[in-house]
Amino acid sequence: MIEYKVNAKLSADQFIDVLNRSTLGQRRPVEDRACMEAMVKNANLCVTAWDGGKLVGVARSLTDFHYACYMPDLAVDEAYQRSGIGTALIAHTQKQLGPRCKIRLIAAPAAVDYYPKIGFVKNPQCWELPRDKEVGR
């Protein structure tokens, strides 16, 4: 029986550990302690999945709750994948959002076929500014 919690207390160590157990840790700066602590501290909507006392999944988002919700991290412990937890984490996130609010994210290569399967729509108009690129050039 998996329990879902909204904005439960979560330490940087717990967050890093579940990212590593999901494989997403390979694509996140888990060795940069300050960055990982800030990711946990400054996210304002974080849904977690628990098997008893064990953290088995996380959906970390930044949102205004009414118009936009960016979900940088969705991760499920490998031992628990493909049992509905990822979809449930997104559903619990969506429940916290108003009727106009869209969830946006960038798929990791291993998950490009996941999002269309669960109802996400591809947006070819999405743009990002790399940190080493000066805006205006």
Sites of contact with ligand COA (CB under 6 A): 22-24, 74-76, 81-87, 105, 107-108, 110-111, 113-114, 117-118
Sequence letter at residue 127: W
Q: Considering beta carbons, is residue 126 or 135 the nearer one to ligand COA?
A: 126
Query: What is the smallest separation between the CB atom of 37 and ligand COA, expressed in angstroms?
Result: 20
Three-class SS of residue 76?
Answer: strand
Query: What is the smallest separation between the CB atom of 110 and ligand COA, expressed in angstroms?
Result: 4
Residues 6+ apart with CB under 8 A from 68: 101, 102, 104
Cβ neighbours, 10 Å, residue 114 = 15
Q: Are strands 54-63 and 68-76 parallel, antiparallel or unpaired?
A: antiparallel
Query: What is the smallest separation between the CB atom of 134 and ligand COA, expressed in angstroms?
Result: 28
Q: Considering beta carbons, is residue 58 or 97 the nearer one to ligand COA?
A: 58
